[in-house]
Amino acid sequence: MTSTVPYIGQAMLRREDDYLLRGQGHFIDDLPTPMGTLHLGFVLSPHAHARIVAIDTSPALALDGVVTVLTGDDLAKHVKPIVAEIEFPGYHPHGRDVIARDKVRFVGEAVAVVVTRSPYLAQDAIELVEVEYDPLPAAAKLEGANAPDAPQVHDTIPNNTIFQGDFTTPDFEAAFSGATHVIRERFRSGRVGGVPLEPRGCLALPEHGDNLVFYSSTQVPHLARTALARFMDHPESRIRVIVPEVGGGFGTKAQIYPEEFTVAALALHFRQPVKWIQDRREELLTDIHARDHIYDMEIAFDDQGIVQALRGDITTNAGAYSTLPFGCTLETTGGARMVVGPYRITNYAYQARALATHTAPSGAYRGVAQPTCFMAIEGLMDRIARWLELDPAEVRLRNMVPTAELPWVNVVGVRYDTGSFVESLQRAMELIDYKGFRQSQPANRLVNGKYRGIGIASFTEVSGTGSPGWRARGLVRLPGFDSGLVTVEPTGMVTAYVSHAHGGQGHYTTFAQVVADALGTNFEDVTIIEGDTATTPYGTNTFASRSAVTGGGALIRAATKVQDKMRRIAAHILEAADEDIVIEAGRAHVAGVPQHGLSFMEIAETAYSMNNYTLPEGEEFGLEENDYYDPPLVTMANAAHIVQLSVDAEDGRVEIEDYAVVHDCGRLINPMIVDGQIHGGAAQGIGEALMEEFIYDDEGQLQNATLLDYLLPTAEDVPLFKVEHIQSPSIDTVGGFKGVGEGGLIGAVPAVLNAVADALAGLDININRKPLRPNLLSNLIREARRKAV
Amino acid sequence: MSEKVEITLTVNGQKRSALAEPRMLLADFLRHELGLRGTHIGCEHGVCGACTILLDGRTARSCLHFAIAVDGAVIDTVEGMASADNLHPIQEAFHQNHALQCGYCTSGFLLTTLEFLRRNPDPDEAEIRRALTNNLCRCTGYTNIVKAVAAAAAAMRAAG
């Protein structure tokens, strides 16, 4: 790709690729481990709910190379119970000991930590720690977890109801009861997780006494640093968090986990390097899970399919503990607030609750509640279509907010500043020849032994949430802003520091495109630094489709300030007015006289007092500016996904035959990278819709804590995606960017479900749950055929 | 714990020896004893393919072999693919087609592709997909990896 301005909008190849392709990316377990490093191993509870009666560490301590074995009481001397301080009516905060004391509340919760001289020894020592448990009955399932006789997860939380909230518009009851038609449905979403290919891990290096350099495979270095300081009572200025290369995060690594506190605290305590690398079983057992949701929905509509009112009763599984920093309300309030999507729904009521259970804690997995709330609303749109014998696309188009009516403030107060709901759907229909497929589709959907169907998901995608957005959801300690620090060095080269941390998104490339354009210099001259709290300014970090909006906005603002200063210096030297100075391609010149100019190096040398020019009177030395960007409530992207697939009539296997996406994330920074985000998200959504599910039995045992049993999609499960973009630049954000990190996943889940439902429409099979595994579908098909005979 | 034994491998064309416990996995031996950390570990039970290497010319999961059991073997890892100046054509195709995001699974895909294209220099899309099912990627949705493998095959055929 040739480098021409503007760089924004170009599919620039990634700077990250060369070192990653050579195997030279330094992931957490690739960092040099100093001599004398202590290696931790966690002893995990085999019970979902039990009292810890006794822990005998002596057999483990007898093993050569085991330094010590510590329990929850030991760690409590170093780390306070961690608590997500959500301020929201109906929320019950509760603490979590980083290693369980007295009681365990899910299978995989740590009850002891072994401190050893090697990772292999840690595995030996774990086996030798003898823990006596008194098992207790478990609340292992979401259904019934708030029943009066259900086992209680926390004594302080009645009926396991960690959070409860509701909302009603003033005219809801009248609108609902006055409608001609009502459809009711329960949508059940299976529990899944991010499952990044690289498990988590951390390495803590004490230096200069009680200073700590803390490497962690995390998405949130600044939030982690603040949390470590607060819960360890250690001065924040003596902690430096560095993020190495991260092998995928997907929100999983946006939580701050008990192991991170344990590693940091023990490094400070022992004054020695301490390291812990998670294995896959631990990852599946203890990293956040998500999407264990029930949506009981009622939708009221008229003869034309126009929605009159929507009511939702939403229950989400919080797991055993609220996690840092989001607590457990993100999925609950997210689903409740986002479900109206691109539709003109003005009468709306919800009740929503998060229930504690004796299962792994839930958290922020890519898409958060949006794959499930759109599973619900998009499933309802299809049901309206079937009820009224209308085309599903037509029902959507009749209910969508048209572009001409934007900006639009939705029923829960979220502003859609720009967008393309109608246009995205129409273009996706063209891409996949929706009308052609419909015309040739037989009523029984059966073609060559397979049921063939097509499914739509039209949706909004929350991105770039600012502080008002987090406050609206009770997350008072989550900032919302991000920041950028742009420095033009004495040689004219540019270093831009940003408060983000990448896990595959290509920030070194995309942020350099943004800074080069904003500053008026060459892409090749810009270097991006991120993921290190000692060098980068504070921010909210990298999750919830934030980077382009918040990091991009902050860098543009900081770069603009630097450029203004360079303009003043250049104007002074060139004896021109500030406004007559043009800055482009790494030079400042007088407008209309390109040869009368200065290079960035000449301006920078002036700023750093390295030549014979003088600065304008009152101008400070240096060429370095910091700025912040806190976007509005949220920045709303949108998209349409359409999937065409077949269901094998005998074995129930689903094959995706065609897949079209039209996405609108406003101004595109790098279309190649945006496409990659959509491909990857959609593949995860296909996994979630068709195969992925964590299965707990009634005793709270996770039945599939290996990658042999928790199925991830392979290259044979995913099609070649057709992706196009519509660009409706945001008018509410700096730069016009909207996020794109989650849309792929959000759209794939409802689109695949609707396509399967369409394929099986001739059999009167109700598709209202996921995942749709082959055995489920083949049973449903067999049963339907038997009834039909 | 048992006594360490000396293990010798030919890795990327060079003889390398180091001491290791008999129970040490080949993946850990390559990474931590020989310092070849481009081979990554994703599951330690042979599913994800992140640790794929070539063992006597055939793809193998280095997390499923003990180092001692392959003493004397010829091993190829990602570190042996590129020269200082140039990426291997497969690596170059991954770069040009944006076939990697976080890069954690990438080494495994590169080695799988290296063996696959030796066996089948002119594959169609279905054959590429079948070959890639041995490796999991959580970032790319495979679309660009499939394109990259096809592009690499074409480039390598053109180069003879």
DSSP assignment string, A334-377: HHHHHTTTTB----EEEEEEEEE-SSPPB---TTTTHHHHHHHH
> Does residue A335 share a domain with residue A219?
no
pLDDT of the residue at B67: 98
> Does residue B73 share a domain with residue B40?
yes
> Does residue A681 share a domain with residue A616?
no
The 10 Å Cβ neighbour count of residue A35 is: 5
> Does residue A497 share a domain with residue A420?
no
The closest CB to that of A714, out of B95, B101, B136, belongs to B136
Nearest chain A residue to B83, by CA = A22
Q: Could you give the CA distance from residue A204 to residue A224 in angstroms, rounded to a whole number?
A: 13
Last residue of a domain, one of A277, A312, A339: A277
Instruction: Determine, for residues B45 and A505 on separate chains, whether the beta-carbon distance falls below 8 Å.
Output: no
> Does residue A300 share a domain with residue A208?
no
pLDDT of the residue at B1: 53
pTM confidence score? 0.97
Q: Please report the residues numbered 20 through 79 in chain B whose beta carbons come closer than 8 angstroms to any beta carbon of chain A.
A: 21, 23-24, 31, 36-45, 47-48, 50, 77-79
Domain membership of residue A368 as a residue range: 289-467+632-788
Kindly report the CATH number assigned to the domain that includes residue B50: 3.10.20.30
3-state secondary structure chain B: CCCCEEEEEEECCEEEEEEECCCCEHHHHHHHHCCCCCCCCCCCCCCCCCCEEEECCEEEECCCCEHHHHCCCEEECHHHCCCCCCCCHHHHHHHHCCCCCCCCCHHHHHHHHHHHHHHCCCCCHHHHHHHHCCCCCCCCCCHHHHHHHHHHHHHHHHCC
CA distance A19 to chain B (A): 9
Specify the 3-state DSSP secondary structure of A235: coil
Last residue of a domain, one of A220, A246, A277: A277
Show residues of chain B in contact with A21, CB under 8 Å: 78, 82, 87, 91, 94-95, 100, 103, 106, 110
> Does residue B37 share a domain with residue B76?
yes
A15 close to A508: Cβ distance less than 8 angstroms: yes
pLDDT of the residue at A789: 75
pLDDT of the residue at B93: 98
Question: Which of A12, A16, A19, A21 would you mutate first to test chain B, the one with the most B CBs within 10 A?
Answer: A21
The closest CB to that of B47, out of A504, A707, A744, belongs to A707
Instruction: Determine, for residues A683 and B129 on separate chains, whether the beta-carbon distance falls below 8 Å.
Output: no
> Does residue A441 share a domain with residue A297?
yes
Cα end-to-end distance, chain A, whole Å: 61
Question: Counting one residue from A and one from B, how many pairs have CB atoms under 8 Å apart?
Answer: 175
Model pLDDT for residues A26-72, shown as the tens digit of each residue: 999 999 999 999 999 999 999 999 999 999 999 999 999 999 999 99
Instruction: Determine, for residues A22 and B38 on separate chains, whether the beta-carbon distance falls below 8 Å.
Output: yes
- Look up tokens 């052609």; give the residue: A436
Show residues of chain B in contact with A17, CB under 8 Å: 94-95, 100, 103
B84: CB partners within 8 A, 6+ apart = none
Instruction: Determine, for residues A22 and B82 on separate chains, whether the beta-carbon distance falls below 8 Å.
Output: yes
User: How many whole angstroms from its chain centre is CA B135?
Assistant: 10
pLDDT of the residue at A5: 81
> Does residue A210 share a domain with residue A110?
yes
> Does residue A328 share a domain with residue A439?
yes
Q: Could you give the CA distance from residue A738 to residue A418 in angstroms, rounded to a whole number?
A: 10
Largest CA distance in chain B: 53
Domain membership of residue B54 as a residue range: 5-80
> Does residue B117 share a domain with residue B62?
no
A768 close to A379: Cβ distance less than 8 angstroms: yes
pLDDT of the residue at A351: 98
Give chain B's domain count. Answer: 2
CA distance A87 to chain B (A): 34
Q: Please report the residues numbered 88 through 147 in chain B whose beta carbons come closer than 8 angstroms to any beta carbon of chain A.
A: 91, 94-96, 98, 100-107, 110, 125, 128-130, 132-133, 135-146
In DSSP notation, A555-607 reads: HHHHHHHHHHHHHHHHHHHHT--GGGEEEETTEEEETTEEEEEEEHHHHHHHH
Last residue of a domain, one of B80, B106, B134: B80
Query: What average pLDDT does the segment B67-78 reach?
Result: 98
Tell me, yes or no, if B19 comes closer than 8 A to chain A by beta carbon.
no
> Does residue B96 share a domain with residue B154?
yes
Is residue A612 assigned to a domain?
A: yes
CA distance A14 to chain B (A): 7
Q: What is the DSSP letter of A283?
A: H
> Does residue A449 share a domain with residue A495?
no
Give me the torsion for CA of A728, A733, A737, A739, rounded to 10°.
Answer: -100
Instruction: Determine, for residues A718 and B142 on separate chains, whether the beta-carbon distance falls below 8 Å.
Output: yes
Q: State the helix-helix crossing angle for A421-431 and A392-399, rounded to 10 degrees.
A: 160
pLDDT of the residue at A1: 41
Exposed/middle/buried for residue A344 (C-beta within 10 Å: 0-12, 13-18, 19+): middle
Last residue of a domain, one of A235, A252, A277: A277
Give chain A's domain count. Answer: 3
Q: State the helix-helix crossing angle for A370-388 and A392-399, rounded to 10 degrees.
A: 110
Report CA torsion sign: A21, A27, A29, A33. Answer: positive
> Does residue B119 share a domain with residue B150?
yes
> Does residue B76 share a domain with residue B94?
no
> Does residue A338 share a domain with residue A449?
yes
> Does residue B55 share a domain with residue B16?
yes
> Does residue A239 share a domain with residue A209?
yes
> Does residue B108 share a domain with residue B125?
yes
Closest CA to A500 of A462, A467, A528: A528
CA distance B78 to chain A (A): 6
> Does residue B32 share a domain with residue B74?
yes
> Does residue A566 share a domain with residue A650?
no
Kindly report the CATH number assigned to the domain that includes residue A504: 3.30.365.10
Nearest chain B residue to A122, by CA = B1
Model pLDDT for residues A213-272, shown as the tens digit of each residue: 999 999 999 999 999 999 999 999 999 999 999 999 999 999 999 999 999 999 999 999
Which residues in chain A land under pLDDT 70? 1-3
The closest CB to that of B47, out of A30, A506, A708, belongs to A708
Nearest chain B residue to A121, by CA = B1
pLDDT of the residue at A2: 46
Q: What is the ipTM of this complex?
A: 0.98
pLDDT of the residue at A596: 95
In DSSP notation, A473-534 reads: TT-TT----EEEEEEE-TTS-EEEEES---SSS-HHHHHHHHHHHHHT--GGGEEEEESBTT
Last residue of a domain, one of B80, B114, B146: B80
